[in-house]
Amino acid sequence: MSDHQEQVAVKEKPAEGFVPKIVAFTCNFCAYAAADLAGSTRTEYPVNIKLIRVPCTGRVDVVHLLKAFEHGADGVYVAGCLEGNCHFAEGNYWAKRRVRYAKKILDEIGVGSRRLEMFNLSAAMFGRFVEVANIMNDRITEMGPSPLNKK
């Protein structure tokens, strides 16, 4: 069912002027710092991405990811430290597994797993931060609004 809906979502022309609501859970020690650096260097990234600072992506639970969608997000991503470089040893591995689990639920409920992703970067990689933001913004814009927001 979810695949079908996703196909429909992709096929449909994005609504005129559709700006997706995207929530990014960003780790304090890497992605959030990278966003800060992007700001300092005046590098632009999509304004419709709401950053949520977390002490570690290991703090992000499945229920947080689901709640974001429930409350209107069209896309969600988690941005944590490079694998092996987590400030708390393995918080980003936990996040990776939880994202995988939440993706399964999203497929099951018909929202679609492509609306959720996990990325890894370091505090210095502000270019990558912007790139990731654009990847998600382009993907979700193309997919159109979350099926929950169409109803």
Partner 1 sequence: MIVAEQKPMEEIAEMIKDFNKILILGCGGCVSVCLSGGEKEVGIMASALKMFVKNNQNRDIEIKEMTISRQCDWEYFDMVKDAMAEVEACVCIGCGAGVQGLVDVYPNVPIFPGLNTGGLAVGKVPGVWEERCAGCGNCILHLTGGLCPIARCSKHILNGPCGGSEKGMCEVDPKTIECVWHLIYERLKSIGKLDNIYKIMPMKDWSTSSDGGVRHLTREDMAKLDAEEEHKKNVELEKKAEEAEAAAKSQG
Binding site for partner 1 (CB under 8 A): 1, 5, 61-63, 66-67, 69-70, 105, 108-111, 147-148, 151
**Least distance in Å: CB of 34 to partner 1?**
29
Cα–Cα dist 57/27, whole Å: 5
54 or 133, CB closer to partner 1? 54
111 or 143, CB closer to partner 1? 111
Give the ranges where 75-150 is alpha helix by DSSP (H): 91-109, 126-143
**Is 104 within 8 Å of 62 (Cβ atoms)?**
no
44 or 70, CB closer to partner 1? 70
| Other CB atoms within 10 A of residue 98 CB | 20
R_g over Cα of the chain = 15
**Least distance in Å: CB of 37 to partner 1?**
33
